[in-house]
Amino acid sequence: MPLVNLSLSPTMVNRFVAQLRDVTVQHDRQRFRHNMERIGEVMAYEISKTLDYQNIDIKTPLASTTALVPARRVVLATILRAGLPLHQGLLRHFDDADNTFISAYRHHPDDSPHFEIRLEYLSTPRLDDAVLILADPMLATGASILATLKALKKYGTPAAIHLVCAIASQPGVETIQAAHPDVHIWAAAVDPILDGRSYIVPGLGDAGDLSFGIKI
């Protein structure tokens, strides 16, 4: 399962994405964040279908029964700040998950089109044998994801890695697949190209700014 593109199916996710992209709707930060959260919730449900499960015993007021629950620990990893709403949606379903937070961003020297990825903060539990779900709303070049996965490597080897995006670019998908063919990529939509500054086209703009306000 190298890539799941939810936009290829007729679901409500397409409406969420349409509102995220629409410049006449984007001024409403609360709605923008809410749509990101809803995409996270749908992704959590879809990913849950792929997990390994085990039976546990449960005692109700009337009898004993069993239930299937995930067999492995889940760790939700989020790239700050843009990934927070997507993370919140995932957390609503994986509500007992451990959490990882990473500050990774593009640095454009002298405002040039060329950039480097700066990773300045990382807080994580051990990742050995966990299901790692990494939330980043925009998969553009894939450079920040590569830097993040490299930084997380020293904290253990997950049993599986899932990358959750609202919008991915086809070049970014191919970059991740080439470097990490074991990573499962989940996207609400996949756009074809990047522009001269490596932004996704048609994309939706800066997800962090649209969620939380313009930064200086």
What does the DSSP 8-state code read for residue 203? -
Q: What is the pTM of this model?
A: 0.93
Give the separation between CA 167 and CA 18, rounded to whole angstroms: 11
Packing angle, helices 170-179 and 143-152, rounded to 10: 30
- Percent of the chain residues topping a pLDDT of 90: 87
**What sign does the dihedral 188-169-87-75 (CA atoms) show?**
positive
Residue 113, pLDDT score = 66
Residue 130, pLDDT score = 98
Give the separation between CA 188 and CA 112, rounded to whole angstroms: 30
H or E element in which residue 138 lies: strand 138-139
Average pLDDT (69-73) is 96
Given a cut of 70, whether residue 1 has pLDDT beyond it is no
Bond from prior residue into 31 cis (ω within 30 degrees of 0): no
Distance of CA 135 to the CA centre of its chain: 2
User: Domains in the chain and their CATH numbers?
Assistant: 3-53+69-212 (3.40.50.2020)
Given a cut of 70, whether residue 169 has pLDDT beyond it is yes
